[in-house]
Structure 1
Amino acid sequence: MCRKREGAETASEKAVRLSNMKRLLIVAHAPSPNTRRLRDAAECGARHPDIDAVEVVVKPPLDAGPRDIRRCDAILLGTTENLGYMSGALKDFFDRSYYAVLEEKQGLPCALYIRAGHDGTGTRRAVESIVSGLCWRWAQEPLVLRGEWQDSFVDHVEELGLYLAAGLEAGVL
């Protein structure tokens, strides 16, 4: 469960925090209650109360685009496995963004989670191919959540969001 930060910060503490602020963009296709739980878990992890200097922006793929990518310091992608491929919404996001950010966002740290009813291999391969073409770099191996729904999937995605945001804040990404 997400926790709020406690205690008030001074104006100077807030100014320092804002000047060092990094932005994590979460672009996740969430067409069902369970995939919305995964998207919310990624956001919850990224907004952990111990992480002060990361702004988290969450958008569905059809609402995100090149401007969002240009403004972020790392990106977390989430998709369902659809007929052995990524969701059409995530593919549309890549189609609209690829050439617009190709040159200027090389090296962007990224991570991926896939909600796969089967094995997720084709979905993973498709996203990895696009990420490779963009010259983004994996902050962590893609997380493939295979088979029947398990509540532990939520914990795994929350950890992914937390680790990505913590790495961004620490400057190791």
Structure 2
Amino acid sequence: MSARRHLLIVYHSQSGHTEALAQAAHAGAQAVEEVEVRRLRAFDAGLDDLLWAHGLLLGTPENFGYMSGALKDFLDRTYYPAQGRVEGLPYAVFISAGNDGSGALAAIERIARGYPLKPVCEALIVRGEVDAAALARARELGETLAAGIAFGVF
């Protein structure tokens, strides 16, 4: 392929668990040479980053059964300006959950349908501590999303 594709990883972390997952996903995505990866904290990411992307990976802790306020802020800030400009953008989600993560996932999916973004991988929900197996799954998620956008699967 002549032009590199772009993967944007947007995440928020307070305890470090979600950041560890974001780092692992980033490492996995970097294994795909055809893809340039940009990993940003949610408060640092904006519309230009979203418009740059050919794929989006969203990461959040589960806060009170919901996504983090920082990730919600990113989605709020980019929603209206992105309308008609990111339709069908492939995306995936990873969640560090203290409970079951279903509320956070449902909220992200509901908002993503409004953009509308295209879900392309099963969400990774890590319940409890982030161990080596969880990091391996995050790495695989990053690599899968990157490969899919690099080779036109998504």
TM-score, structure 1 as length reference? 0.85
**Sequence identity percentage:** 44
Mapped partners of 1:95, 1:61: distance in 2:
11
Gaps of 5+ in 2: none
1:76-95 aligned at under 5 Å gives the runs: 76-95=57-76
Quick check: 1:54–1:165 contact (8 Å CA) kept in 2? yes
Q: Which aligned runs of 4 or more in structure 1 are off by greater than 6 angstroms? A: none
1:23 matched to 2:6: yes
Structure 2 match to 1:37: 20
Measured in 2, the distance between the counterparts of 1:151 and 1:47 equals 19
* 2:89–2:118 contact (8 Å) kept in structure 1: yes
Residues 1:168 and 2:142 aligned together: no
Q: Distance in 1 between matches of 2:67 and 2:8?
A: 18
Partner Cα distance (1:99, 1:136) in 2: 13
Are 2:73 and 1:120 equivalent residues in the alignment? no
Matched AA of 1:41: A
**What is the deviation of 1:32?**
2.4
CA distance in 2, matches of 1:125, 1:36: 21
Range that drifts further, 86-95 or 149-158: 149-158
Preserved contact between residue 119 and residue 147 of structure 1 (Cα < 8 Å): no
How many Å apart are 1:138 and its aligned residue?
0.7
Distance 1:23 1:146 in 2: 29
Please report how far the alpha carbon of residue 139 of structure 1 lies from its aligned counterpart in structure 2 after TM superposition: 1.1
1:148 Cα deviation from its structure 2 partner: 4.1
Give the structure with the higher percent strand: 2
Whether the 8 Å CA contact 1:25–1:68 is kept in 2: the answer is: yes
Aligned residues: CA RMSD = 1.2
1:47-69, CA deviations, whole angstroms, 9 ceiling, x for partnerless residues?
A: 01xx2211001100001011111
CA radius of gyration, larger in: 1
Query: What is the letter of the counterpart of residue 108 of structure 2?
Result: V
How many residues get paired? 154
